[in-house]
Amino acid sequence: MPIVRILLVLLALASPALAQDGARDTAAAREAAQAFRVYVEGVAKTGGRPDLTRPEVAALLGRIYDLDALNALPPAQASDLDWLIDWVGAANATFKVFTRYGSKSQSQPDLAALQVNMTEYEDQFAAAMNFMVRAQAREAVSIKLFWVGLAPEQRTRVREKGFTGARSSMAEWILEAVCSTTLSKPANVRLVAAAFRDTSDAWASFLLPKDRPRVIEGLAGYQKQVVDETARTDLAAFAAALQAVN
């Protein structure tokens, strides 16, 4: 489990699990993620390569990275955290399945395999990142609402550690995710950059003050590498939102 997932679980520890509209979508995403993994493992046994454009495979990915379902949900609530952890976890696990396909090592990055996959599956990668940026921004809002809603005696050391750790880990994730704005296809670059622009307020209020300058600096570096003017403008808007926080 990635460290940010662990920290979120710690934050929500002992909180009541309330039924949410997103719980059904999360269950469907988990099932689709499992089916996708089974498909990829089956292809690997034959020595072939997964075809992510096959209608049935594309449908699985569409259910995991279901942006329409995410956008149709009511405004974020503190109780969303319970199912959001699972949905984003399934999305992240699936992302690793196809971006790391063919890797010789599971513990160390296989740059050759990663390059092949990023080239062949760029469209799927961009769609996944678009969803992940928006879903984790919603998660950030839910985390803050959860923390604010706790009574003083409920703000235990474990939960405080989870809250601070999640904020710091999200900064690291943004720095990793924003590199996808250097993809080769302009449409994909714009897709991811727009996701950061649209969620900038959520990120700006969630990041720790000590982490914000690092993220802004990282954004400046990627902006110089982005050729598409619309994407550069969107990244600049994201950076401006972070800079505007007092």
* In the chain, where the domains are located: 3-243
What is the rounded CA–CA span in Å between residue 71 and residue 52? Answer: 24
pTM for the model: 0.89
**In percent, how much of the chain has pLDDT > 90?**
79
Confidence bin at 104 (pLDDT 50/70/90)? confident
Contacts of 169 (CB under 8 A, 6+ apart): 3, 4, 7
What is the rounded CA–CA span in Å between residue 74 and residue 51? Answer: 34
Task: Return the number of other C-beta atoms located less than 10 Å from residue 213's C-beta.
Answer: 12
Each residue's pLDDT tens digit, 158-187: 999 989 999 999 999 999 999 888 888 999
Question: What is the rounded average pLDDT of the residues 47-59?
Answer: 97
Residue of higher predicted confidence among 5 and 133? 133
- Per-residue model confidence (pLDDT) at position 173: 94
Contacts of 54 (CB under 8 A, 6+ apart): none
Confidence bin at 13 (pLDDT 50/70/90)? very low
Confidence bin at 8 (pLDDT 50/70/90)? low
- Per-residue model confidence (pLDDT) at position 10: 46
DSSP line for 1-40: --HHHHHHHHHHTT------HHHHHHHHHHHHHHHHHHHH
